A and B are shown apart, each in its own frame.
Chain A
């Protein structure tokens, strides 16, 4: 891996967008959206359930893994 290739890695890392999976506190409705700073798993957020309008909490936070090109170092 050369310096040029490593810059691709840095770009890939900085473009990594975390997502929050919200779940309704009353029903089973789930909703995936971008992660907002200050959120953590189990935190109740401002979003309301699209089905029953109850408060929602952050169930999971994750990233979609970048495609893994098998580079030779």
Chain B
């Protein structure tokens, strides 16, 4: 009865309640953030970072950002994007190297992964806090409600990124590494004695399969890198031209809710989830010589792609190889050549021999 004369009271009360529920969940995001930073600090320390300056170093890394290119004038945007991505990586690597002077090149890529995870855990926490504070500042129920709605997804996201940390610190493969893992297993299966470094952190091994030549490509392991497969595919295709009868890309791909982890599917196009430049180069190289572009994907949830590889995914390796062999029998005549590329992070996956 009294409330009828003060219509704002119930809404304010609900706002306060909602904010207090959000505050509880923010504690969880904060905990992920703190643990991410702690793991990063431990890794930096392991490679000789100055302990006195640790807080400063960690802060610098988790606040690191890059700014995407302007897209109002899309002309040449992929070149600018590629430049920004390269530059960002180069700068982050130099930063890490200056903080952790005892690190070697291979491990640096893995530390880069740890840094990226700590950075994103910090970002998630920061953004959630921002909206919480905004809702509090303006006593705005609707902002509070929106942040409360997406909180479960944010916590899930943070949890999944956090799960990637033990993989990066122990250097074990993550779900996304299934593509490189398939190629590494092909090196073993066909007794590839030597792999060549083809630049852009990519390697290439040559094998023979039923009178056909296979060019098997992956990022250089076992450090955590994806390399630049587009640049390397272009380089190899420019070299062998239409002697290559098919380009097969193998990659982890997002499954829909309800689909089975580790299920395999085949289609057309370049299976690669980069922001654009690498995919563009693969498509362009294939188009120039009219080479068919076939994609094999191994489905998994986003959480599975960034955390240590589960058995259900890893044990699909032989089945994927069988599929590749079948494709090659169908599409490449005897005496012909096929380029097979394992796309993804090669963390914990070596280079064969």
Chain A interfacial positions (CB closer than 8 Å to B): 1-3, 6, 9-10, 13-14, 16, 18-19, 21, 23, 35, 37-38, 40-43, 57-65, 73
Contacts and interface: CB of A to CB of B under 8 A. Distances in A.
A41 B163 contact: no
B350 A42 contact: yes
B348 A59 contact: no
Contacts of A19: 311
Contacts of B310: 62-65
Contacts of A35: 170, 172
Contacts of A60: 181, 314-315, 317
Nearest to A23: B188
A1 B311 CA distance: 27
A61 B155 contact: no
Interface in B142-180: 151-152, 155-156, 159, 162-163, 166, 170-173
Contacts of A23: 188
Nearest to B191: A25
B270 to A, nearest CB: 24
B311 A64 contact: yes
B35 A42 contact: no
A6 B121 CA distance: 15
Contacts of A41: 173, 181, 184-185, 221-222, 348-350
A37 B349 CA distance: 13
Given A3-B27, A18-B308, A42-B184, A61 B172 contact: yes
A40 B155 contact: no
A23 B188 CA distance: 10
B187 A42 contact: yes
Given A2-B24, A41-B348, A59 B309 contact: no
Contacts of B185: 41-42, 59
A38 B223 CA distance: 11
A40 B222 contact: yes
Interface centre among A21, A35, A43, A63 (most CB of B within 10 A): A63
A6 to B, nearest CB: 5
A13 B162 contact: yes
B166 A43 contact: no
A41 B317 CA distance: 12
B351 interface: yes
A23 B170 CA distance: 21
Contacts of A3: 24, 27-28, 31
B188 A42 contact: yes
B352 interface: yes
Contacts of A65: 310-312
A37 B222 CA distance: 13
A4 to B, nearest CB: 10
A58 B184 CA distance: 11
Which are the 9 A-B pairs with shortest beta-carbon distances?
A40-B222, A73-B152, A62-B314, A42-B350, A60-B314, A65-B310, A41-B349, A40-B350, A62-B311
Contact of B25 (A9, A13, A63, A73): A73
20 contacts: A1-B152, A9-B162, A35-B172, A40-B171, A41-B173, A42-B185, A42-B187, A42-B353, A59-B188, A60-B315, A60-B317, A61-B348, A62-B173, A62-B308, A62-B313, A62-B315, A64-B310, A65-B312, A73-B151, A73-B155
Contacts of A59: 185, 188, 317
Nearest to A60: B314
Given A16-B308, A41-B181, A1 B314 contact: no
A57 B184 CA distance: 12
Given A9-B159, A59-B185, 14 more contacts: A1-B155, A6-B32, A6-B159, A9-B162, A13-B166, A38-B171, A42-B185, A42-B187, A42-B349, A43-B350, A59-B188, A61-B309, A61-B348, A73-B152
Point out which of A2, A3, A40 has the most chain B C-beta atoms below 10 A from its C-beta: A40
Interface string B319-353: 00000000000000000000000000000111111
